[in-house]
């Protein structure tokens, strides 16, 4: 069995772009290239590692809804957005638990806007988590701007 090197993984991710949700990887890669200094430039494996670390941080914090959850496609949230935004909704496995999470992804090359409401939970504030951003709370309807090729997680607890 061949060993997968970091450069091969990055190459595979680049060829899968648009088919596999490696949300935000492109933005991080571009940012690193813009800041690149010849001797101290971060390698692709470092960039990928940092991004995956951020996704793991978010997934771990909200694992009860994002990992041990029920996938609801787009049911359970009302989203109005620019054309390159896609979203999915997750709920608890316990039917009596009203908590919900939505993952919004910008597949475009420009910043895109979205507005989200969880019907029946309109009075609850939402926790907002995104890679390399400080977590914050916002009121519904949640109006957010999503950077190109990145994701945002909105959680009603």
Q: Per residue in 51-91, pLDDT tens?
A: 788 888 998 999 888 888 888 999 999 999 999 999 999 99
Q: In this predicted model, which residue has the larger pLDDT, 25 or 59?
A: 59
Question: The tokens of 29 are what?
Answer: 């890669």
Nearest to 147 by CA among 13, 20, 36, 29: 29
SS3 85: strand
* DSSP conformation class of 17: B
Nearest to 146 by CA among 103, 106, 115: 106
Domains annotated on the chain, with CATH: 1-157 (2.60.40.1180)
Q: What is the pLDDT of residues 118-149, one digit of tens each?
A: 999 999 999 999 988 999 999 999 999 998 88
- Per-position b or e across 59-71, b if 16+ CB within 10 A of its CB: eeebebbbeebee
Contacts 24+ apart (CB under 8 A), 73-77: 76/100, 76/102, 76/118, 76/119, 77/102, 77/116, 77/117, 77/118, 77/119
């Amino acid at each position: 069995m061949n060993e997968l090197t970091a450069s091969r993984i990055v190459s595979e991710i680049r060829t899968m772009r648009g088919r596999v949700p490696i949300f935000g990887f492109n933005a991080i890669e571009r940012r690193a290239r813009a800041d690149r200094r010849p001797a101290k430039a971060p390698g692709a494996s470092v960039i990928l590692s940092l991004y995956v670390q951020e996704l793991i941080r978010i997934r771990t914090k909200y694992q009860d809804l994002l990992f041990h959850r029920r996938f609801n496609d787009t049911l359970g949230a009302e989203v109005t957005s620019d054309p390159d935004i896609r979203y999915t909704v997750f709920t608890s496995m316990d039917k009596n638990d009203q908590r919900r999470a939505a993952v919004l992804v910008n597949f475009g090359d420009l910043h895109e806007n979205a507005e989200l409401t969880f019907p029946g939970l309109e009075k609850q504030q939402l926790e907002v988590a995104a890679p390399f951003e400080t977590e914050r709370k916002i009121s519904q309807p949640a109006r957010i701007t999503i950077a190109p090729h990145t994701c945002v997680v909105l959680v009603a607890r």
